[in-house]
Chains A and B, each alone.
Chain A
């Protein structure tokens, strides 16, 4: 295969970059890795996907969230500061008209809750919400 110098340089640059980072860490965080796994590496843009979460969670044990993804086939939810970022994946069936779901999740500290939706047309959408998780003063 004939490689132009440009292509060769580009290949060289990216392989050096990867070498620098080490084979396991090509992503900025575990959450990014999980997102890439869900999207197959495709970019996720903004869209009609809505993620509702409280600004301040009274207790990180039970944080109510809601995802609303018209036209989505499935939505995965992640928490980028949790020990394991994956939270849940909602796969919508034929009889699910509104493509929305609510649940209660655990957040170990202040962080972003991220929703990524896979749309019917194969594209992806993403929404983020920052949730402050407090430690009570005297709740013990």
Chain B
């Protein structure tokens, strides 16, 4: 498990049906690009979050393929339509095989 990797998400707690809400997500990850060299001149191998998925009640909202050019601590802001009360499920996939997840509920009236 890559150490210190922590997701944070900002989702409104409430919304009206079919509102468009803004979601912000961040995950603390170094995003080692594979371009840097260590003190001995050896290339530090690439090790990044390569995919981020946001679903709501099982339906996909966004699916992002990340490359090394995404900054350290990948940040994404996007919109979602919420037809009903439910739960957002956020997943990040690491090059090293680890998967990080977090969920957020929203009440829709």
Contacts and interface: CB of A to CB of B under 8 A. Distances in A.
Direct contact of A and B (CB under 8 A): yes
Interface of A: 61-63, 66, 79, 82-84, 86-98, 100-107
Q: Which 6 A-B pairs have the closest CB atoms?
A: A93-B60, A102-B77, A104-B71, A98-B79, A91-B63, A87-B69
Interface string B48-71: 000000111001111111111111
Given A90-B64, A101-B64, A104-B75, A95 B69 contact: no
User: Could you tell me the dominant secondary structure of chain B's interface residues?
Assistant: strand
B91 interface: no
B64 A94 contact: no
Given A92-B62, A93-B61, A93-B62, A106 B80 contact: no
Contact of B62 (A61, A62, A91, A107): A91
Contact of B64 (A91, A95, A106): A91
User: Could you tell me the dominant secondary structure of chain A's interface residues?
Assistant: strand
A101 B63 contact: no
Contact of A101 (B56, B72, B78): B78
Given A83-B35, A103-B75, A103-B77, A93 B70 contact: no
Contact of A88 (B61, B65, B80, B83): B65
Contacts of B7: none
B20 A102 contact: no
Given A84-B69, A88-B70, A105-B71, A100 B64 contact: no
Most buried by B among A63, A79, A93: A93
